[in-house]
Amino acid sequence: MKLKCLILTLVLVLLCSCNAKNNEGFNSSQITESGMEMTQDTSSEAQSSTTQDEAQSSQPSSSGASNNTSSSEAPLTKKEMKVNISEYAYAGNDSAVLNEAVKSLGIKISAAKIRGEELSCTLELENKIYKLDSTVNFNSISNMTIKGNGAKLVYTRNVGAFYLNSCKNLTFKDLTVDYDPKVYTQGVVQSVSGSTVKMKVDDGYSNSASWIFDKSKVVYSMLFDSNGNLIEGASHTYAYENIKKEGSNGLTMTLTFGTRDGVRAPQAGDRITLFNWAGAPTFNAMNCAGTKYENITVYQSPGTVVSESSGEGGSTIKNVKVIPGEVISANRKPLMTVLSDVFHFGNVKKGPLIDGCTVSNSADDGVNIQGFFFHVLKVNGNVLTVTPKWDTPLDVGETVEGFKDNGYLSVGKAKITAFKKKNDASLKSKIVAAYKNYDKTLQDDTLVYEITLDKALNVKEGDHITSVDRVGSGGIIRNSTFKNNRARGAVVKGQNIVIENNVFENNTSSAIVAHADIYWCESSFAVNVSIKNNKITGSGSSGNMLKWAENDMLGAIHIGVAHPAGVEGFYSCFENKNIVISDNTIKNTQLYGIFVTNCTGIKISNNTIENALKNGANKLGSLYGLTPKSAIFVGMSKDITSSGNTVSGSNTSKKIEVHSNCSGKIVTD
């Protein structure tokens, strides 16, 4: 028996040494003046399709962590182990030491399982600064805690901090993550002449970093006031090209995006940032379950802070602070944190618990929880061939829901009995055509999924499906603050979700969004969502919200759909269901206080809305042919109840407007 254990342990050592995987990629997307977003969040799936600088392990296709104990196995004897990082000092620099420690403890955990033990390991870091130049990798590891004890991890390259592949019950706690050199640069606008903008770069920031001059990547920017707050009326995003270095601390550049239709241009004296969007995440988790992030501070990240893709999900994010770092010199406050969404969950089965967090100064949404729609290419009885926008495979046993192309009307559900992923070049033209009315970015234009169901669904070519088991259902966002973020505070697209007791302040778009992002193929519809006791101030602060007619984020709290291209006016869809919006306080927004469309069963009660539409209507609502005059708007919905809401403000002549295209039982006071 001892010999058997020794052999198995040696095999595990060899496997783990071959399984190192780094997470250093970059994903970029071009922008056009016609698009509301500088680029849509391509989700953790896209961000995780990154170039690795070490041997690359094959990606598992199963959704769960690979080391779950089968229900038929005997219970394991539980044991615990604590190890100090100093025991691995022999490995070399800080990156090598951390990777060696994680790999070694992973082997111990796996070997213990062979002996019939469930070993939980805690790796104790020291309260000091660690300098790292590569990603720390976790591959098929369970029951491990990285306890920082106040450690600060400073990455010297724009790589992901941690890569988690098929792991279960990992915990990261009591640490800080930062980058040096900075992942962005900042300074002050010196002058603007036509489309030429000159800036002086702050001390401690770069005007010579290679990414600034890399023509293969778009350089974006955001504008802040002298207090470090996003400037109201400025564009949510600007973009530049032809960037040139001037002297020791200057840059000159050509403005290419952001000022259409009279949106405010950069002005002398503005505080300005430059950055590439959506690099490698801080924590990049693929096919993981039960991950915990506790008492962590992140000052900067080249991409998402927590990016989770596929897997069981069910993460806990507690007391995580994503805030600008320390002042470097001359009292110049750092202006940015994260160059993407902050917390992003794509294709996970169970949504996260986000509790007591602070999220500020990011380049995109504070939270985004989503699944994916797949377009149907062929139907053969109960066998569907579909095209995925990203490679997000499903599992046998999952429930899929079918939708008609016209209005995404649900046609029922069925379970997957067989799943096959393959490439079929003969279907390429059909795949490309399937995205005619959708965002056309595809990870692989020959990739298809062949899905066998336990019964036929009433769908045909051109219709759509989604897995209702992979939309982050059960997520909770509470007791958290979202401030000065480009785009939205929290976006959810799943079922049984709670958003409560949060503060949203000065985010450039809607504070809270519950909808299906059909255009971007992000599912599903919001069902059984509770939005209660949130405090929202200054939502929708960017100039684009009022001056771009195609803007579809119209409320500080917004329920609806992002419909396919080519749709004019209201989209005849009613699949958001059972939404409760109550006891929220909304102040000083450029938007409607509450805007609802495409919903069956909406209850709006006891909300206080002050000074909605504060800068007038302008082009807000043009997408639907509306002239805003109420604090609350409901359109293209069924079964509506509104009661006990308090409204004040000079630009709202009525409390609520219910459009004539609404139906069912309608009760308002």
Residues 32-41: pLDDT tens digits? 333 333 334 4
Structural domain contains residue 348: no
Percent of the chain with pLDDT over 90: 87
Task: Express each pLDDT in 140-178 by its tens digit.
Answer: 999 999 999 999 999 999 999 999 999 999 999 999 999
Please check the confidence at residue 415 and state whether its pLDDT lies above 80.
Answer: yes
Do 622 and 577 share a structural domain? Answer: yes
SS (H, E, C) 511-561: CEEEEEEHHHCEECCCEEEEEECCEEECCCCCCHHHHCCCCCCCEEEEEEE
pLDDT band at 278 (very low <50, low <70, confident <90, very high): confident
Contacts of 137 (CB under 8 A, 6+ apart): 19, 20, 21, 22, 23, 54, 99, 102, 103, 162, 163, 165
CATH number of the domain that residue 218 is part of: 2.40.10.170
Residue 60 has pLDDT above 90, yes or no: no
Q: β-strands 367-380, 464-467: how paired?
A: antiparallel
Same domain, residue pair 492 and 564? yes
DSSP one-letter code for 89:
G
Report pLDDT digits (tens) over 357-376. Answer: 999 999 999 999 999 999 99
Residues 435 and 579 in one domain: no
Q: Residue range 120-145: average pLDDT? A: 98
- Identify whether 284 is part of a domain: no
Containing structural domain, residue 618: 472-668
Mean pLDDT of the residues in the chain: 90
If asked whether residues 575 and 445 sit together in one domain, one would say: no
| 8 A C-beta contact, residue 345 and residue 45 | no
pLDDT at 13: 39
Could you tell me the pLDDT band of residue 332, with boundaries at 50, 70 and 90? confident
> Mean of the pLDDT values across residues 624-638?
97
- Do 492 and 594 belong to one domain? yes
Question: Each residue of 430-451: pLDDT tens digit?
Answer: 999 999 999 999 999 999 999 9
Q: Measured between alpha carbons, how far is 135 from 176 in angstroms, rounded to an integer? A: 15
User: Which element (helix H / strand E) includes 109?
Assistant: helix 94-114
Q: What is the structure's pLDDT at 330? A: 59
Domain boundary among 252, 275, 298: 275
Q: For tokens 């669904």, what's the residue? A: 457
In a domain, 426, yes or no: yes
Q: How confident is the model at residue 327 (pLDDT cuts 50, 70, 90)?
A: confident
Q: Which residues contact 604 (CB under 8 A, 6 or more apart)?
A: 581, 582, 594, 596, 632, 634, 640, 641, 642, 643, 645, 656
The torsion angles phi and psi of 78, rounded to 5 degrees, stand at: -85, 135
Provide the percentage of residues in the chain whose pLDDT is more than 70.
88
Answer yes or no: do 377 and 261 share one domain.
Answer: no
611 and 559 share one domain: yes
- Helix or strand (DSSP H, E) at 102: helix 94-114
Mean pLDDT of 398-404: 98
- Measured CA distances, 358 to 124, 192, 361 (Å): 25, 35, 10
Question: Given a cut of 80, is residue 25 above it in pLDDT?
Answer: no
Segment 108-136 shows an average pLDDT of 97
> Which of these three, 275, 303, 334, is where a domain ends?
275
Residue 214 domain-assigned (yes or no): yes
**463 and 476 belong to one structural domain:** no
The verdict on 532 and 631 lying in the same domain is yes
Q: Is residue 292 part of a domain?
A: no
Q: Which of 42-46, 104-108, 439-443, 629-633 has the lowest mean pLDDT?
A: 42-46
On whether the CB atoms of residues 365 and 339 are closer than 8 A, the answer is no
- Give the pLDDT confidence of 541-595 residue by residue, as tens digits: 999 999 999 999 999 999 999 999 999 899 999 999 999 999 999 999 999 999 9
- pLDDT at residue 658 is higher than 50: yes
Query: What pLDDT does residue 69 have?
Result: 42
Q: What's residue 520's pLDDT?
A: 96
Task: Look at residue 234 and tell me if it is in a domain.
Answer: yes
Cβ–Cβ under 8 Å, residues 139 and 166: yes
Lowest-confidence region among 42-56, 201-215, 558-572: 42-56
Does 377 share its domain with 508? no
Question: Whole-angstrom Cα distance, residue 35 to residue 206?
Answer: 30
Q: How many domains does the chain have?
A: 3
Task: With CA atoms as reference, report the closest residue to 299 among 322, 330, 272.
Answer: 322
Q: Is the dihedral of CA 289, 46, 103, 354 positive or negative?
A: negative
**Same domain, yes or no: 421 and 478:** no
User: Which pLDDT belongs to residue 73?
Assistant: 63
- Residue 76 pLDDT class (50, 70, 90 cuts): confident
Residue 642 within a domain: yes
Domain presence at residue 517: yes
Tell me which of 410, 441, 467 is where a domain ends: 467
> Given a cut of 50, is residue 5 above it in pLDDT?
no
Query: Out of 21-25, 317-321, 654-658, which region has the weakest mean confidence (pLDDT)?
Result: 21-25
Residues 213 and 248 in one domain: yes
The answer, yes or no, to whether residue 59 has pLDDT greater than 70, is no
- Please give the pLDDT value at position 61: 36
pLDDT(464) > 70: yes
Q: How far is CA 473 from CA 44, 129, 189, 348, 352, in A?
A: 17, 38, 44, 8, 9
